[in-house]
Amino acid sequence: MKRLLLLLDSDPMPNAYDIIVGYDGGADHIVSYGGITPGNVGPLIDGAVFTRGPSEKKLTAMFIGGANMAAGEELLAAVTKRFFGNFRVSVMLDSNGSNTTAAAGVAQIAKAVPLANKKVVVLSGTGPVGLRAAALFAKEGAQVTLTSRDKQRAAAACQLIQARFGVSPIPLAAVDNDARGATIRGADIVFAAGGIGVKLLEERHWRDERTIELIADCNAQPPLGVGGIDATDKGNTRQQKLVFGALGIGGLKLKLHRACVVQLFQVQIKCWTLKRFTPWLKP
Ligand SMILES: NC(=O)c1ccc[n+]([C@@H]2O[C@H](COP(=O)([O-])OP(=O)(O)OC[C@H]3O[C@@H](n4cnc5c(N)ncnc54)[C@H](OP(=O)(O)O)[C@@H]3O)[C@@H](O)[C@H]2O)c1
């Protein structure tokens, strides 16, 4: 019997990255669907849960992806709500690599420096990766500030985190690189989670900031998110600070993503979100 992964993407087109990593994680076949919403996901869930007997059900799993974190959360809620009794399969939510990237980044940072009571600034934290990273940092006892170009978006993101994880980052508006540079003054850790190919900070914004001990950037596509850092940096020292680039974080992210898919088919996981793999990654 084949290991089948149903890839449910909230975007119109299923994400190629998630498909490839799904195969590398051990799926024999991936059936991918785009444009999935809580309104149209029902028949797909029914097909997944009514086709295999109890001992074989673990060979069917679902992966929820897409660029929109809130849409992914809604899909996950719709999927798990439709399950009943033993008619359920493993589900993983990782909209835009949110959980795996944030967990890999925060775990590596936590290994390098203690996080409790540290001032962490998550730059452009309104996307899926930033939302999850901010929550993880706060859960580790850090004082987290989350920036956006827009005050209301920052506030909405922090409310989302509060509602989902019970922790409260501080929202802050920062419209451009200089404004973002101002937000990191006095911080201990900076985590840049801006969109792909978007530069958020120049090197001059951080190199003389004495309080900053570590900077991480998730953006792998030039121009990188933080000037003066290389994408391959993985705990290197630059300007007397520890630095992590996107590829430095990405290696563990990829391993984690694959490992999560492997486990989807080993045990029936009701709902695999941040909470489940955070303790596993703790240094
Ligand atoms: N290293 C890895 O393994 C890995 C894995 C997955 C993702 N990533 C990277 O992680 C980063 C975050 O991913 P994501 O999906 O969370 O990002 P995203 O949703 O595309 O963007 C995050 C935020 O960046 C801000 N932004 C977008 N375009 C901008 C612009 N032109 N100027 C200034 N700010 C802009 C927006 O915030 P506001 O509008 O609120 O300001 C947006 O909410 C991306 O660079 C992605 O490529 C890395």
The tens digit of pLDDT for each residue in 41-89 reads 999 999 999 999 988 999 999 999 999 999 999 999 999 999 999 899 9
Three-state DSSP state, 137: helix
Residues 268, 88: contact at Cβ < 8 Å?
yes
Provide the whole-model pTM: 0.94
Does the structure show a pLDDT above 60 at 282?
no
State if residue 179 touches ligand 1 by the CB under 6 angstroms criterion. Answer: no
Torsion over CA: 130, 131, 134, 139 (sign)? negative
Cα of 196 vs centre of ligand 1, distance in Å, is 5
Cα of 180 vs centre of ligand 1, distance in Å, is 15
Average pLDDT, the chain: 94
CA-to-CA dists, residue 81 to 57, 77, 95, 120, 144, angstroms: 18, 6, 19, 35, 32
pLDDT of residue 268: 58
The tens digit of pLDDT for each residue in 181-236 reads 999 999 999 999 999 999 999 999 999 999 999 999 999 999 999 999 999 999 99
CA-to-CA dists, residue 78 to 37, 64, 101, 201, 272, angstroms: 9, 11, 24, 39, 15
Strand partners, 123: 192
Cα of 250 vs centre of ligand 1, distance in Å, is 15
State if residue 150 touches ligand 1 by the CB under 6 angstroms criterion. Answer: yes
* Residue 59 DSSP one-character state: G
The tens digit of pLDDT for each residue in 90-124 reads 999 999 999 999 999 999 999 999 999 999 999 99
The tens digit of pLDDT for each residue in 160-189 reads 999 999 999 999 999 999 999 999 999 999
pLDDT of residue 269: 54
Cα of 4 vs centre of ligand 1, distance in Å, is 30
**CA-to-CA distance for 59 and 28, rounded, in angstroms?**
10
CA-based nearest residue to 220, from 202, 193, 184, 256: 193
State if residue 151 touches ligand 1 by the CB under 6 angstroms criterion. Answer: no
Residue closest via CA to ligand 1's atom 31 equals 198
